[in-house]
């Protein structure tokens, strides 16, 4: 569907530098800044379940998705807009707690909830969050600028959200209080630092295999990652770390010569474009890595 929209959206504007296809759009701002814009849908039954997520967690996750997109551009989030459709008769207390979760996260990141729209929904709760951010002129880190020889890094452990989702599916109802699946933490601070380090960057919202493929396809390169180097969350499997989404870490590439922050995990390398976008190395064996991340996209 994204492809259909992209090929259809041919109208250009001098105010738009980068449009559809990155974590956020880049709009020309003032002399020294540019604006970042991202939108993310959260739909009941697709992105969350009211019997799995507390109202606070749903509000938190809704905004976290947008903040993470701004982080993946190396930007600072400044304002958020919420479009919220609820079925008739929604409990006002549910809404209050939803806003508790959303606004607590907004406050921590100094982001203003600056507007939005509300409507009746025929059935389920639908929230669309738009986050606006800013970065220095031409500083936004795109997906399309990874180069052959660059090293591939992630900012933190992967697979924790998939591990917790599987626990919920198995019927377990007691997740850790700081479960990354319930309370994902947007990597805004490290994202800002990485804007001068990364050649390309994306957040791991759909899963490592899918998100790294996005970078490779946009950059016209391929990547080889090393199974032994992938930082796996406690209790998670390699599969969870490779294909589970919603960890909201940052995935980046950087030149071999660039000095990177120590806390990054180096997991692989960018190579010239091959038949598949991503390959997994296990010991001496290298094989194509299928894209089996969580794809909410149709």
Size of the site for a copy of itself (CB under 8 A): 72
Q: In what order do the strands lie in the sheet with 278-282?
A: 200-203, 250-254, 151-154, 265-272, 221-226, 278-282, 285-288
CB atoms under 10 Å from CB of 171, counted, come to 6
d(CA 128, CA 113): 13
Shortest Cβ 102–a copy of itself spacing (Å)? 9
Out of 12, 93, 170, 257, the residue judged to bind a copy of itself by CB under 8 A: 12
Q: Which of 54, 113, 217, 294 binds a copy of itself (CB under 8 A)?
A: 113
Stretch that binds a copy of itself, among 16-24, 218-226, 228-236, 259-267 (CB under 8 A): 16-24
Of the candidate residues 54, 78, 144, 145, the single one contacting a copy of itself (CB under 8 A)? 78
> Which one, of 205, 142, 165, 144, lies nearest residue 53 by Cα?
165
34 touching a copy of itself, by CB under 8 A: no
Q: Which of residues 131-190 bind a copy of itself (CB under 8 A)?
A: 132, 134
Least CB distance to a copy of itself at residue 131 (A):
11
Among 67, 71, 126, 194, binds a copy of itself (CB under 8 A): 126
Nearest CA-CA partner of 243 in 171, 172, 165: 165
Nearest residue (CB) to a copy of itself, 119 versus 284: 119
Q: Over the range 69-92, which residues count as b (16 or more CB within 10 Å of their CB) and which as e? A: bbbbbbbbbbebbbbbbbeeeeee
| Choice between 55 and 156, CB closer to a copy of itself | 55
**Residue from 51, 93, 123, 275 binding a copy of itself (CB under 8 A):** 123
Binding to a copy of itself (CB under 8 A): which residues in 38-77?
38-41, 43-47
d(CA 62, CA 249): 16
Distances (CA, A) of 232 to 59, 134, 154, 161, 201: 27, 32, 11, 11, 20
Residues 85-104 that bind a copy of itself (CB under 8 A): 85-86, 88, 90, 92, 95-96, 99, 103
Q: Which stretch binds a copy of itself (CB under 8 A): 120-128, 152-160, 235-243, 282-290?
A: 120-128
* In the complex, least distance from residue 26 CB atom to a copy of itself, rounded to whole angstroms: 9
Shortest Å, Cβ 1 to a copy of itself:
4
Check residue 246 for interaction with a copy of itself (CB under 8 A): no
Question: Does residue 11 touch a copy of itself according to CB under 8 A?
Answer: yes
Chain centre to alpha carbon of residue 16: 22
Angle at Cα 243 formed by Cα 238 and Cα 244, nearest 5°? 95
CB closer to a copy of itself, 95 vs 168: 95
Q: Does 116 bind a copy of itself (CB under 8 A)?
A: yes
Can you tell me the distance from the alpha carbon of 271 to that of 110, in angstroms, rounded to the nearest whole number? 39
Overall residue count recorded for the chain in this entry: 298
Q: Which of 93, 119, 234, 262 touches a copy of itself (CB under 8 A)?
A: 119
Closer Cβ to a copy of itself, 10 or 173, answer by number: 10
């Amino acid at each position: 569907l994204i492809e259909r929209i992209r090929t259809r959206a041919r109208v250009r504007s001098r105010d738009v530098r980068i449009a559809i296809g990155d974590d956020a759009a880049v709009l020309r701002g003032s002399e020294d800044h540019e604006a970042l814009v991202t939108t993310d849908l959260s739909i009941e039954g697709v992105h969350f379940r009211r019997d799995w997520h507390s109202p606070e967690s749903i509000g938190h996750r809704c905004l976290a998705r947008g903040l993470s997109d701004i982080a993946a551009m190396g930007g600072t989030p400044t304002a958020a807009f919420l479009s919220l459709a609820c079925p008739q008769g929604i409990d006002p207390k549910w809404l209050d707690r939803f806003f508790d979760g959303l606004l607590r996260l907004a406050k921590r990141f100094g982001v203003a909830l600056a507007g939005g729209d509300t409507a009746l929904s025929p059935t389920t709760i639908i929230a669309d969050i738009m986050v606006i951010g800013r970065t220095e002129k031409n500083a936004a880190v795109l997906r399309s600028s990874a180069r052959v020889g660059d090293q591939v890094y992630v900012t933190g452990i992967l697979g924790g959200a998939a591990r917790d989702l599987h626990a919920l599916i198995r019927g377990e109802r007691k997740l850790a209080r700081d479960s990354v699946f319930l309370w994902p933490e947007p990597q805004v601070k490290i994202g800002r630092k990485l804007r001068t380090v990364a050649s390309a960057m994306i957040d791991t919202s759909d899963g490592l295999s899918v998100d790294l493929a996005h970078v490779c396809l946009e950059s016209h390169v391929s990547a080889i990652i090393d199974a032994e180097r992938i930082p796996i969350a406690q209790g998670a499997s390699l599969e969870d770390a490779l294909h589970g989404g919603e960890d909201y870490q940052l995935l980046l590439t950087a030149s071999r010569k660039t000095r990177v922050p120590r806390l990054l995990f180096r997991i692989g390398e960018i190579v010239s474009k091959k038949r598949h976008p991503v390959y997994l190395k296990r010991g001496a064996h290298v094989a194509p890595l299928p894209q089996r991340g969580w794809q909410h996209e149709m």
